[in-house]
Amino acid sequence: MELYLVRHTAPAVASGICYGHAEVDLHENAATEFEIVRGKFADLVPAAFYTSPLLRCRRLAAALSWGDARQDDRLKEMHFGEWELQRWDAIPREIFDHWATHFVEHAPPGGESFRELYARATGFFADAAEQHPDATVVAVTHAGVIRALLAHALNLSLQHAPGFRLDFGGVTKLVADGTHINVAFVNR
């Protein structure tokens, strides 16, 4: 399977705001950004097309013109619970610092840990690889999911997954042959 992971384009949210599962729309330049993302795929026609059900991904998926993408909850961004749509600097420092140090296992209040996000992302990956072993698959998703799948492909400690810088509208390609997962490119 060739899996193209597409990060949604720039959201219409102020800098410094925590958003994961929160429903936020895309920036006013979305149409221009959609054109740039479409240009990254030239003549590619995927055998399967998926999207996170969150609006910022659904809008990009609709603009890619491959028909209706199947929505999959496992492609959602990390759930930050009570922190959703709060300013990061409004979260009490000692609580934030504890979470930042232990984010793999520790969830924000009412949210999920990175290990939980990893479990659902790798579950999606395993199902897609089983259903489409020799096909091209595209999934429009979020940075957290892409980071989790890069950690999976590279057999990295989850603690290091946030180190991947992923641009809005960037494309990452993973290739799975049933035994190995290779990273063809990141952030193209």
Whether the Cβ atoms of residue 172 and residue 150 lie closer than 8 Å to each other? yes
Mapping DSSP onto H, E and C, the string for 75-95 reads HCCCCCHHHCCCEHHHCCHHH
The 10s digit of each residue's pLDDT in 133-165 is: 999 999 999 999 999 999 999 999 999 998 899
Confidence of residue 180 (pLDDT cuts 50, 70, 90): very high
pTM of the model: 0.96
| Residue 178 vs residue 73, higher pLDDT | 73
Residue 186: per-residue pLDDT? 96
Whether the Cβ atoms of residue 46 and residue 1 lie closer than 8 Å to each other? no
Chain length of the chain: 188
The 10s digit of each residue's pLDDT in 35-67 is: 999 999 988 999 999 999 999 999 999 999 898
Structure tokens at 125: 């990956």
Domains of the chain: 2-185 (3.40.50.1240)
